[in-house]
Structure 1
Amino acid sequence: MSFRLSNRSRARMKGVHPDLVAVVEAAIALTPVDFIVTEGLRDAKRQSALVRSGASRTLNSRHLTGHAVDVAAVVDGHLRWDWPLYPRIAAAFKTAAVRAGVPIVWGGDWPRLRDGPHFELDRRHYP
């Protein structure tokens, strides 16, 4: 089954680096689990609020520069946060990124504070 990005997901990628947008658009066609984009570019005020609430641990987020997106799995029309869905979505992102020649980092691969919904452009190639 091939999924498509909603207009809302596309709008949430406004200001996101075009290389990452291309990866997201390719990943939606590859993924076995539907997803939406929940957040792309953030301003410092929003990032500070996320740190205060404990939803983020850094004021130096890649979202601030348009180098990151967060997604949410959608199953039977409902948002789902259970972990087993996110490696399946990540596999589609990683395949799309390799095909596009765009190095990405998945938050689910981080050794501490794994963040399954988070994808960002690799800092080594996109400072």
Structure 2
Amino acid sequence: MPEPDLSRIDPATKFPRAIAAMQNPAFLKTPRYQEQQQRANREGAHPRLLEFTDKMVKRCAMLQIPVFPHCIVRTREDQASAYVRGVSNDSPDDGLWPHRFAAVDIIHCQYAWMDKIPHAWDVMGHIGKQVAISMGLKVVWGGDWSRFHDPAHWELAGWKQMDPSTFLRDVER
């Protein structure tokens, strides 16, 4: 499927055009879409984060936008690799990284980080914030960060003060 050229769009139509560029209702019916939903390690994740993840995926599907949770829980080794590669600012050395139990990266099933679709992340940010509000959940969106812009990233607000031992079981610490 060729990526649409949205370089000259009217600001009044930027969200509808971004949504149209992200939509693929046929893909939502494929086995690949279903497989992608099971890709991320969920074991040990905070239950409210998992609920947020599932609701965001469903809300996007209602808009015919196929997305999936790319990363939820990372082991210490996974986090070390992400840190070395520069895709995370959190060293695993202190035992504190949000993908230990309190974060999710949600990306498009076909375009991944959607770099060529203007305003796609603005749409995703809006959707995620609306889902969180509907749940009464406080989240932090990486798309609002200025120092390390990460629009696929969502984390529970205040995760550093949470006691993960209340729901972490088999995740390597």
Q: What amino acid does structure 1 have at the position aligned with 2:69?
A: V
> Equivalent residues in 2 for 1:1-127 (5 A)?
6-10=34-38, 12=40, 13-31=42-60, 32=63, 33-59=65-91, 60-64=96-100, 66-74=101-109, 77-82=110-115, 84-123=119-158, 127=162
Radius of gyration: which is bigger? 2
Q: What amino acid does structure 2 have at the position aligned with 1:26?
A: K
Is the Cα–Cα contact under 8 Å of residues 27 and 93 in structure 1 kept in the other structure? yes
- Secondary structure of the 1:57 match is coil
Q: Which has the higher helix share?
A: 2
Does the C-alpha gap of structure 1 residues 69 and 124 become closer, same or farther in structure 2, counting only changes over 3 Å? closer
- Shift, 1:126, TM fit: 5.9
Deviations, residues 34-74 of structure 1 (Å, cap 9, x unaligned) = 2111111011111111111111121232002x100111123
Q: Which runs of 5+ in 2 are unaligned?
A: 1-22, 163-173
Deviations, residues 2-43 of structure 1 (Å, cap 9, x unaligned) = 869735424523322111111122222323432111111011
Distance in 1 (CA, whole Å) between partners of 2:57 and 2:161 is 22
Distance in 2 (CA, whole Å) between partners of 1:28 and 1:90 is 13
Is the Cα–Cα contact under 8 Å of residues 104 and 155 in structure 2 kept in the other structure? yes
Distance in 2 (CA, whole Å) between partners of 1:124 and 1:100 is 17
Count of residue correspondences: 124
Is the Cα–Cα contact under 8 Å of residues 102 and 159 in structure 2 kept in the other structure? no
Identity %: 22
CA RMSD of aligned residues (A): 2.6
Q: Which runs of 5+ in 1 are unaligned?
A: none
TM-score by structure 1 length?
0.81
